[in-house]
Copies of this chain bind each other. A is one copy, B any other.
Amino acid sequence: MKIDVKECAKLLKEKDNILILTHAHPDGDTLGCGFGLCRALLKLGKNVRVINADEIPKKYDYLHNDLKFEDFKEDYVVSVDTATENLLGDLADVYGGKINLCIDHHGTNTNYAEKTLLIETAAACEIIYQVIIELGVEIDDKIASCLYTGISTDTGCFRYASSTPSTYRIAADLIEKGADNGFINRVMFETKTKTYVRLERLVMDGLKLYCNDRVAVIVVTQDMYKKSGSNEQETEALAPLTRQIEGVEVGVTIREKIDGTCKASLRTFDKVNAAEVAKCFGGGGHPQAAACRFDCGVDEALERIVKKCGELLK
């Protein structure tokens, strides 16, 4: 059932033991939502814990490293920024069918939770911001930093057309409340590890163009992780690079997983709907950024996805 911000805040106020789930392969958006909401609920005296299926990349330490979670039995499960249950990764096995509330901004949300607060026109952390205001919690510097991180990473640091006047005004408010925007953006966008720099070089050297140079594809293999000393956690910044070459309409990043299967991230502009492409392969996302998994190896995945893009570009 769809609910609004007011109803969402009311539900959260009624519960005392809340478990928050972020999606697997967690990024700044889902973590900002999770820890931002968690901190607000802690201020209301509730038991709250944030969990996710995968390790949280070290660069997000400042979002949560001062938090110590108490042991408690949850009576309310909330997912944030998660369009489908299987995006919860391994947590889907435990919490599938048991999610009470979902706060999300993906048009492809499958309505899997008992109640869903869905606003497609906002960054997920903008929705959490509204919920926190409705909860009557004063936003402190820690909450502000969580929410700013989510908004900034979700909008490519305010680059994308998805950033609305409201996005900018909320960001202004969060900076006034103590979000350290210079530090956050430096860590999120301006700091590349030496291993990542090596990985980026290897990956970009293999960039290939298809469909009259309108589709750019990069492939990240397990071998490249070995050669560069990098790992999957560091690949987040690669996907946007595919779309940056003049004339490219679809950027595809295929990441080989350790079991030989792979995952593809899609970045597009107006002409192709990334979520539509991803949906053909059982995935989902936004019109300009989406992802899907393949049970096959990278070569076959590449062929299938390029073929589909070719059809859509016709």
Interface residues of A (CB under 8 A from B): 157-169, 171-173, 175-176, 181-183, 185-186, 189-194, 197, 201, 204-205, 240, 243-247, 269
Contacts and interface: CB of A to CB of B under 8 A. Distances in A.
Nearest to A209: B194
A243 B190 CA distance: 7
Dominant secondary structure of chain A at its interface with chain B: helix
Nearest to A243: B190
Nearest to A193: B246
Nearest to A195: B246
Given A192-B246, A204-B201, A243-B190, A165 B157 contact: no
A165 B160 contact: no
Contact of A185 (B159, B186, B201): B159
B192 A244 contact: yes
13 contacts: A160-B185, A161-B182, A161-B186, A163-B175, A164-B175, A165-B173, A165-B176, A169-B169, A190-B240, A191-B244, A192-B246, A194-B246, A194-B247
A263 to B, nearest CB: 23
A203 B186 CA distance: 23
Instruction: Kindly report how many copies of this chain are found in the complex they form together.
Output: 2
A69 B111 CA distance: 57
B165 A182 contact: no
A275 to B, nearest CB: 17
Contacts of A182: 160-163
A194 B204 CA distance: 13
Nearest to A192: B244
B166 A172 contact: yes
A245 B163 CA distance: 27
Nearest to A201: B204
A245 B194 contact: yes
A159 B182 CA distance: 7
* Smallest CB-CB A-B distances: 5 pairs: A161-B182, A168-B172, A165-B172, A159-B185, A158-B158
Contacts of A158: 157-158, 171, 181, 185
A35 to B, nearest CB: 22
Contacts of A160: 182, 185
Contacts of A173: 165
Nearest to A196: B246
Given A168-B168, A168-B171, 4 more contacts: A162-B182, A165-B176, A172-B172, A193-B245
